[in-house]
Amino acid sequence: MTFPLEVSELQFRYQGSETNILRGVNLKVKKGEILALVGLSGCGKTTLCYCLCGIIPHVIQGDYKGKVLINGTSASEMKLPGIATKLGIVFQDPDTQLFAPVVEDEIAFGPENLCIERDEIGKRISEVLKQVGMERYRLGSPAILSGGQKQLIALASVLSLHTEIFIFDEAMSQIDSEGKRSIKEMICQLKNLGKTIVMVEHDFENLDIADRIMVMRNGILEPYNGVLK
Amino acid sequence: MEENNNIPYIKMQEAAFRYPKGDFVIENTSLTLFQNEFTAVTGPNGSGKTTLGKLIVGIVKPDCGSVKILNRDTREMTLGEIGKKVGYLFQNPERQLFSMNIREEISFPMEIRGIPKEKIKEKVDEMLETFSLTHLEGIPAFKLSRGEKQRLAIASILVNNPGFFVMDEPTTGLDAERKKDLSELISNLQDKGIGMVVISHDLPFIKQHADRTITLSGGKIIDDSR
């Protein structure tokens, strides 16, 4: 059986560091599953996300061992543009993701690079801005939005890619309670469409939509048993 | 709203602010903040919370009206002068860290004030210990986790001994354990008499600490309760 995401014996050590942050991570995520990852700050959750989306080893280098498979193909052997057609990631800090001077350009950038037709891109922009409740900011600048609003635009940009796999790395951390409710509903709709979702979370109130919760401890993943340490 | 009889630390009078080419983010707002209180500022995304915080610490100046810190208009104060009176923790701590080295990050404000080296070393050691950073001393600041960067940013602010501290979304990205540590730290600062404004939509965290809660919506204060 091929899983959308499969990780086996993954180890990683950042350049200049003496210890491995990932020490043999094993994981299989099914199609249509919402998997939540929890763990203490600095335990390696974001590093794992970077490995899942190919940023490690393609952009960030270090000592990398083991395998990450996206739909059965090794992420380290795929090119980043190829990975982007299969997997979208929303980073922890929206400022690292947003770069365009206008919100609609920001959202159009991904689909444009996937050579999607203009009319379809226009439709997707309207659709995703509605999904995140930011329609009125379409022609505004992301630079003057609040932290939470930037996070919503980063989310919209990734949703516009229409990928099969989504990774949300604390994607709701700056969003107000009303926004969180609607994002959680949206994630459930994605699940119902058969999308595969990995969400890193510190806020346990957001975990009610997860099918499975794993905790990152000492560089490995284990089923969550109510304890983070 | 019940009155506070202490001397105001920060006073905002009919202050309004908008970013270039944007709508008003803060509209004619008057607000008095006291050192003996923990004031929480909450409200939906885009309601103006962060901009209010930046007005309070003089990072942005009001288009009209005034913001005064201990009776001095922020327009007449340098950021260095403000930093000695009010500390500000950015929503994203990365924005305020600039040194490669943890020790340098903490010592910088003291070095530019010409404090003797021995005193600086003593104070940095104390801050590293207080903020559980001693074991990370050899690691470049940019390699720290978000929680660690936040502790470093707070340590660098507090070496200035400000009487007031504004924190923007301090619980973002913190796990339950780190949130507990932050709560303890805030309680200690309150015990030391440091006034505090915490901008957050983490309602359980706010409820745990706040003496006063201000709710913003569309750039206006819609509720102010003690």
ipTM attached to this prediction? 0.74
Strand intervals (E) in chain A: 5-14, 22-29, 34-38, 62-70, 73-74, 87-90, 165-169, 196-200, 212-217, 220-223
> Residue A165 domain-assigned?
yes
> Residue A229 domain-assigned?
no
Alpha helices in chain B (DSSP H): 49-56, 79-85, 102-111, 117-130, 146-158, 176-191, 203-209
pLDDT at A203: 86
Range of the domain at A77: 5-223
> Residue A89 domain-assigned?
yes
Q: Residue A17 and residue B94: Cα distance in Å, rounded?
A: 20
All residues of chain B having their beta carbon less than 8 Å from the beta carbon of residue A39 are 175
> Residue A106 domain-assigned?
yes
Tens digit of pLDDT for each residue in A174-190?
888 888 888 899 899 99
> Residue A228 domain-assigned?
no
Beginning with the edge strand found earlier in the chain, give each strand of the sheet holding B38-42 in spatial order.
Answer: B86-89, B164-168, B195-199, B38-42, B212-217, B220-225
pLDDT at B5: 59
Q: For residues A104 and A156, is the Cβ–Cβ distance under 8 A?
A: no
Token pair listed for A41: 């700050």
Q: What is the mean pLDDT of chain B?
A: 88
Token pair listed for A169: 């790395």
pLDDT at B147: 78
| B32 vs A41, more confident | B32
| Cα dihedral: A162, A165, A171, A172 (round 10) | 80
All residues of chain A having their beta carbon less than 8 Å from the beta carbon of residue B204 are none
Asked if the C-beta of B94 comes within 8 angstroms of chain A's C-beta atoms, the answer is yes
Tens digit of pLDDT for each residue in B156-190?
888 888 999 999 999 887 888 888 888 888 888 88
Asked if the C-beta of A71 comes within 8 angstroms of chain B's C-beta atoms, the answer is no
pLDDT exceeds 90 at position B72? yes
pLDDT-derived band at B60 (thresholds 50, 70, 90) equals very high
Tens digit of pLDDT for each residue in A87-132?
999 988 888 889 999 999 999 999 998 889 999 999 999 999 999 9
Beginning with the edge strand found earlier in the chain, give each strand of the sheet holding A5-14 in spatial order.
Answer: A22-29, A5-14, A62-70, A73-74
Q: Is A71 exposed, middle or buried (0-12, 13-18, 19+ CB in 10 A)?
A: middle
> Residue A168 domain-assigned?
yes
Asked if the C-beta of A175 comes within 8 angstroms of chain B's C-beta atoms, the answer is yes
Residues 142-181 of B with CB under 8 A from A: 143-148, 169, 172-178
pLDDT at A223: 95
pLDDT at B2: 45
Q: What is the mean pLDDT of chain A?
A: 92
| Cα dihedral: A186, A187, A190, A194 (round 10) | -160
Q: For residues A86 and A164, is the Cβ–Cβ distance under 8 A?
A: yes
Tell me which DSSP letter residue A28 carries: E
pLDDT at B3: 55
Q: State which residues of chain A have pLDDT below 50.
A: none
Lowest mean pLDDT among A28-37, B16-25, B201-210: B16-25
> Residue A217 domain-assigned?
yes
Residues 6+ apart with CB under 8 A from B20: none
Q: Residue A100 and residue A109: Cα distance in Å, rounded?
A: 8
Q: What is the mean pLDDT of residues B10-36?
A: 89
> Residue A169 domain-assigned?
yes
Asked if the C-beta of B44 comes within 8 angstroms of chain A's C-beta atoms, the answer is yes
Q: Residue B42 and residue B44: Cα distance in Å, rounded?
A: 7
State the best of B172, B180, B217 to mutate against chain A, taking most chain A CBs within 10 Å: B172
Asked if the C-beta of A76 comes within 8 angstroms of chain B's C-beta atoms, the answer is no
Q: For residues B129 and B171, is the Cβ–Cβ distance under 8 A?
A: no
pLDDT-derived band at B138 (thresholds 50, 70, 90) equals confident
Q: For residues B147 and B178, is the Cβ–Cβ distance under 8 A?
A: yes
Number of domains in chain A: 1
Among residues A131, A137, A127, A130, which one has the least CA distance to residue A104? A137
pLDDT at A90: 93
The CATH number covering residue A212 comes to 3.40.50.300
Q: For residues B96 and B160, is the Cβ–Cβ distance under 8 A?
A: no
HSE, side-chain direction, 13 A CA sphere, residue A16: 8
Picking from B46, B172, B201, the nearest residue to A145 by CB comes out as B46
